[in-house]
């Protein structure tokens, strides 16, 4: 322990600690971090300007809980591996670079096996981690995928080798937790449900593009009809493509309830339809038909793969607002095994529908929600908004209650949290959903207290209240 003078009577208290061999300095309580401290693993440099004897003793360091750990820094074309082997006294560090092709991953696996590695750790880098992880998961006892935000190294000295060694070091000392990687059957479901969602979104974009085309031609169909894409509107657009632009004839193609709007439709369908409108409209409609068939095929494949989870899907669809489509996405994103989430709160936090915490100097500040599974969160928010429009349910009453105080967006997140909490308990216990009713908050209040509250309000307004029990 040293007092280091800084001038004008100021001093700073330094506590010297041995730096970890990961390439990053220790910044525990009472230590001082120097921005330009060397990152050499075996440097004898001292923050006081002197030199300390080089030794490999674990003096003042965190206890290692793993002796043979490999860290992998994964990129698109290459993966850098670093193996740390601890024999109780010294740490032997070995690094090597491999290709991410199938052959390169086999060579990487053979190289790791020669060191008898017990744990392999890699960052989640886009989609590039997948071929490496899938190629190693069946060959080693433990393969971890970790959040890159949780293993950030000291900036300014970044190399592939140092990143791989840092990963190995933090894993060896138990300073990082693995992310959830679902089993292969759930991963396949994820790919299908996420791709179906992109196709549904693309279909919506094409319908919006069709609306822009009609407006460009002067057709005010959506001023009369509730939406641009329906059986009636399709028949009208097909007639325009065929070369017939008579407004009265187009209006006569209306079906169902739109037939009561034929005079307004006749006026709205008067247009300046040009040949280039025909070309674009034909391609848009063909694309919409293609997307419709793609969505149907994907849905059939999803249903086929969900047969082992039919009981869980049917169970979750009993929750107000949760459709079959939403339940399918929930199974694909969460899986059916709830044992990986100790409580419903862990699941809500992982999904990104639980509030984050931010406390400093004894003061707690709002921090919003944590980052979680984007696809699951979107599905839950949609289910929450659907539940808010149901009649006579606990979720609709809860949504209305929170909306008055916090607004519709925060209320939707709160309802999504409630839905996910219910789903966790239902999947864990196998019980069906029991609705508490829209009068849940009213019933739990003390009737006598409510009566006294109303009496006080009337007396404050200048009235004398006499209560007569109802017959």
Say if residue 163 is in the same domain as residue 92. yes
Which of 143, 172, 201 finishes a domain? 172
Q: How are beta strands 78-86 and 91-99 bridged, if at all?
A: antiparallel
Say if residue 316 is in the same domain as residue 416. yes
Which of 172, 193, 208 finishes a domain? 172
pLDDT band at 346 (very low <50, low <70, confident <90, very high): very high
Q: Give the CATH number, domain containing residue 128.
A: 3.30.420.10
DSSP assignment letter at 342: S
Residue 454 in any domain: the answer is no
Within the chain, how many helices (H) and strands (E) appear?
Answer: 16, 9
Residue 420 in any domain: the answer is yes
> Cβ distance 323 to 386 under 8 Å?
yes
Partners of 318 in the β-ladder: none
In terms of C-beta density within 10 A (0-12 exposed, 13-18 middle, 19 or more buried), how is residue 274 classed? exposed
Say if residue 290 is in the same domain as residue 321. no
Residue 447 in any domain: the answer is no
Q: How far apart are CA 330 and CA 170, in angstroms?
A: 32
Provide the residue range defining the domain that includes 340: 309-358+365-429
**Of 333, 327, 380, which Cα lies nearest the Cα of 353?**
380
Checking if the pLDDT of 322 tops 90, the result is yes
Entry pTM: 0.77
Say if residue 136 is in the same domain as residue 221. no
**Of 58, 177, 77, 78, which Cα lies nearest the Cα of 119?**
177
- Of all residues in the chain, the percent with pLDDT exceeding 90 is 60
Which of 172, 194, 223 finishes a domain? 172
**pLDDT, the chain, mean:** 84
Strand, coil or helix: what is 245? coil
Q: How far apart are CA 417 and CA 411, in angstroms?
A: 10
Residue 129 in any domain: the answer is yes
Say if residue 283 is in the same domain as residue 316. no
Q: How far apart are CA 60 and CA 16, in angstroms?
A: 9
Say if residue 190 is in the same domain as residue 293. yes
The CA radius of gyration of the chain, in Å to the nearest whole number, is 32
> Cβ distance 67 to 52 under 8 Å?
no
Say if residue 194 is in the same domain as residue 133. no
**Of 292, 294, 383, 442, which Cα lies nearest the Cα of 302?**
294
Checking if the pLDDT of 190 tops 90, the result is yes
> Cβ distance 17 to 23 under 8 Å?
no
**Of 137, 82, 139, which Cα lies nearest the Cα of 110?**
139
pLDDT in tens, 245-280: 899 999 999 998 889 999 999 999 998 999 999 999
Say if residue 292 is in the same domain as residue 192. yes
Say if residue 284 is in the same domain as residue 233. yes
In this structure, what token pair is assigned to residue 304? 């086929």
Say if residue 225 is in the same domain as residue 299. yes
Residue 460 in any domain: the answer is no
Say if residue 421 is in the same domain as residue 320. yes
b/e for 21-55, b at 16 or more Cβ within 10 A? bbbbbeeeeebeeeeebebebeeeeebeeeeeeee
Residue 458 in any domain: the answer is no
Range with lowest mean pLDDT among 18-27, 101-110, 211-220: 18-27
Q: What is the pLDDT of residue 29?
A: 39
Residue 402 in any domain: the answer is yes
Q: How far apart are CA 111 and CA 102, in angstroms?
A: 14
How many structural domains comprise the chain?
3
pLDDT in tens, 193-246: 999 999 999 999 999 999 999 999 999 999 999 889 999 999 999 999 999 989
Q: What is the pLDDT of residue 414?
A: 94
Q: How many CA atoms lie within 13 A of 328 on its CB side?
A: 22
Say if residue 325 is in the same domain as residue 414. yes
Mean pLDDT of 132-154: 86
Backbone φ and ψ for 184, nearest 5 degrees, come out as -55, -40
Residue 290 in any domain: the answer is yes
- Max CA-CA distance within the chain? 96
Q: How far apart are CA 173 and CA 64, in angstroms?
A: 5
pLDDT band at 468 (very low <50, low <70, confident <90, very high): confident
Q: How far apart are CA 13 and CA 32, in angstroms?
A: 8
Q: What is the pLDDT of residue 262?
A: 92
């Amino acid at each position: 322990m040293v007092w280091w003078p800084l001038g004008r009577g100021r001093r700073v208290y330094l506590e010297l600690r041995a730096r970890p061999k990961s390439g990053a300095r220790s910044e525990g309580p009472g230590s001082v971090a120097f921005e330009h401290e060397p990152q050499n693993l075996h440097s004898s440099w001292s923050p006081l300007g002197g030199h300390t004897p080089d030794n490999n003793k674990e003096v003042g360091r965190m206890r290692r809980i793993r002796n043979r750990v490999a860290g992998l820094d994964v990129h698109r074309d290459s993966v850098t591996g670093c193996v740390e082997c601890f024999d109780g006294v010294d740490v032997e560090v070995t690094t090597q670079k491999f290709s991410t092709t199938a052959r390169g991953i086999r060579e990487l696996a053979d190289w790791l096996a020669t060191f008898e590695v017990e744990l392999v750790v890699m960052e989640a880098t886009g989609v590039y981690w997948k071929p490496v992880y899938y190629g190693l998961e069946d060959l080693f006892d433990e393969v971890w995928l970790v959040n890159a935000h949780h293993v950030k190294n000291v900036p300014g000295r970044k190399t592939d080798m140092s990143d791989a060694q840092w990963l190995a070091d933090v894993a060896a000392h138990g300073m990082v937790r693995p992310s959830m990687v679902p089993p292969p059957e759930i991963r396949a479901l994820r790919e299908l449900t996420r791709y179906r969602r992109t196709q549904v979104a693309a279909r919506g974009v094409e319908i919006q593009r069709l609306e822009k085309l009609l407006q460009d031609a002067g057709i005010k169909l959506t001023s009369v009809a509730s939406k641009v894409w329906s059986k009636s509107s399709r028949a009208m657009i097909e007639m325009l493509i065929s070369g017939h632009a008579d407004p009265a004839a187009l209006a006569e193609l209306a079906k169902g309830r739109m037939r009561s709007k034929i005079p307004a439709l006749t006026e709205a369908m008067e247009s300046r339809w040009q040949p280039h409108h025909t070309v674009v409209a034909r391609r848009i409609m063909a694309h919409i038909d293609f997307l419709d068939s793609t969505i149907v095929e994907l849905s059939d494949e999803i249903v086929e793969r969900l047969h082992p989870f039919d009981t869980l899907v049917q169970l979750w669809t009993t929750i107000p607002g949760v459709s079959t489509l939403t339940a399918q996405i929930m199974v694909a994103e969460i899986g059916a095994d709830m044992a990986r989430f100790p409580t419903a709160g862990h699941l809500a936090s992982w999904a990104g529908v639980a509030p984050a915490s931010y406390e400093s100097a004894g003061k707690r500040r709002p921090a919003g929600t944590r980052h979680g599974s984007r696809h699951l969160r979107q599905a839950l928010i949609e289910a929450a908004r659907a539940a808010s429009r149901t009649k006579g349910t606990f979720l609709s009453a809860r949504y209305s209650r929170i909306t008055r105080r916090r607004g519709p967006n925060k209320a939707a997140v709160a309802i999504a949290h409630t839905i996910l909490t219910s789903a966790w308990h239902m999947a864990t216990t196998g019980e069906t959903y029991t609705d508490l009713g829209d009068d849940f908050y009213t019933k739990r209040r003390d009737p006598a207290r409510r009566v006294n509250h109303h009496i006080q309000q009337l007396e404050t307004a200048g009235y004398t209240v006499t209560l007569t029990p109802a017959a």
